[in-house]
Amino acid sequence: MLHRGARVAVVAPAGMPSMPDMEAGAALLEAWGYVPVLGPNLRAQHRYLAGTAEERGADLRWALTSPDVDAVYVARGGYGCVHLLPGIPWAEVVPGRMVVGFSDVTALLLALHQRTQAVAVHAPTLGYLATKSDAATREAVREVLAGGRETVLRGEVRAEVRGGGTEGVEGPVLGGNLCVLASLAGTRWRLQAEGALLVLEDVNEAPYRLDRMVVQLVESGALSGVRAVLLGEFVGCAAPAEAGWTLEELLVDLMAPLGVPIVTGVGVGHGPRNLPFFYGGQGLLEGGVLRVGRVLEAEGARRPATFAPA
C-alpha cells in the first residue's frame, strides 16, 4: 500500500504530542523506508490541545487532501478530533488514503468510514507506537503499511453468552474507544453498528462510568443489529480488589441482552499490545479469531475483501 519513499503526513488533531515521542516515531517511519512530513502546526499548543481548532484543522485538511501526501499518521490521541469533523471537506479526501490512529482518533476513523473511501486503520498513534507498543504490535503495523491485506485479532469466546455461536459471523468491523463512541451518540457523527462486528476498548475509566457509556450506546440505538462484540483491553479500569466481581463480568453482563457473541481479551487497547485492524474492513469471526480484510476499491465502489483459506 505504501511504496518505499512514501510521504507520511504526521498531524496532531487532538492532544499535544510529546516531541521526543514524535522524534522516535519519525525515526521509526524512516527505518521502514518512509518519509515523515510533519504538519506545519504539529508543535502548536492551545490549552490541553495541539493548537487551536483552526491550526489543527488546517493540518488535518492538508494531510487528507494533498496530492503530495501518501498516508496520514496521527501523532497522539487525547481529545479534540470531534472539533474538526464539521470542517473536513469529505468529498475532497483522497480515495485510498491511509489514515492511522486510535483512542480519540476513533471519531475521525468512524467519520472517514462513513463518508469517504479512505483506508482507515485502528492502530497505535505514532508516538505510542514508537515508545509504548510491543514488538508484535510494531511488526503488525509495519505489515499493514507495507501492503498487508488482512489483520488478525484473537480473544476468548464467552460461552455463557448465547448468540448463535461464533462460527462464520461476518460484517464490517467498527468500534474503537468506548468513551468517544458514547460521546458521539445523538450527533451526526454517531456510531451505527447494524450488521457490524464491534471492537471496544478504553483507558482510565471507573467501572460505573463504563456502565453508563454502554447503556448510552444501547439506549441510543447505536448497537441495534450489531452482530458480535469484541472487548479489548480496558487499561486502568479494573474493579476494586475487594469488589467481588470483575470488569469483564460487568461488561459481559451489560452486553448479554444484545443476544450476540461476545469475545473478550482481544489485543486492542491502551496497553503495549494494540494490534491494528482495518476500520470498516470486512470481518470474519470464527471462534475467538477475527480476521479483517482491507476494503478494496472496484470501479469507484467499495466492496469487501475476500478471505484466503485459514
For residue 102, give the C-alpha cell.
Answer: 486510535
Dihedral (C-alpha) 87, 91, 97, 99: value to the nearest 10 degrees?
Answer: 30
> Is there a catalytic annotation at residue 170?
no
Check if 3 is active-site.
no
Asked if 8 contacts 34 with a C-beta cutoff of 8 angstroms, the reply is: yes
CA distance 27 to 39: 16
Q: Of residues 113, 205, 233, 270, which has the active-site annotation?
A: 270
In the residue annotation, 201 being an active-site residue is answered as: yes
Q: Which residue among the candidates 55, 201, 205, 233 is catalytic per the annotation?
A: 201
Task: Return d(Cα 258, Cα 242) in angstroms, integer.
Answer: 29
Amino acid at 172: P
- 64-77 in b/e form (b: 16+ CB < 10 A) is bbbeebbbbbbbbb
| CA distances to 23, 218, 240 from 102, in Å | 19, 22, 27
Question: Which candidate in 103, 113, 133, 183 is catalytic?
Answer: 103
Contacts of 198 (CB under 8 A, 6+ apart): 173, 174, 175, 223, 226, 228, 229, 230
- Round to whole Å and give the CA distance between 186 and 50: 26
Residue 209 φ/ψ, nearest 5 degrees: -70, -40
Cell of 132: 509504548
Residue 294 and residue 292: Cα distance in Å, rounded? 7
User: What single string gives the DSSP state of each residue in 181-195?
Assistant: HHHHTTSTT----TT
Q: List residues with catalytic annotation.
A: 103, 201, 270
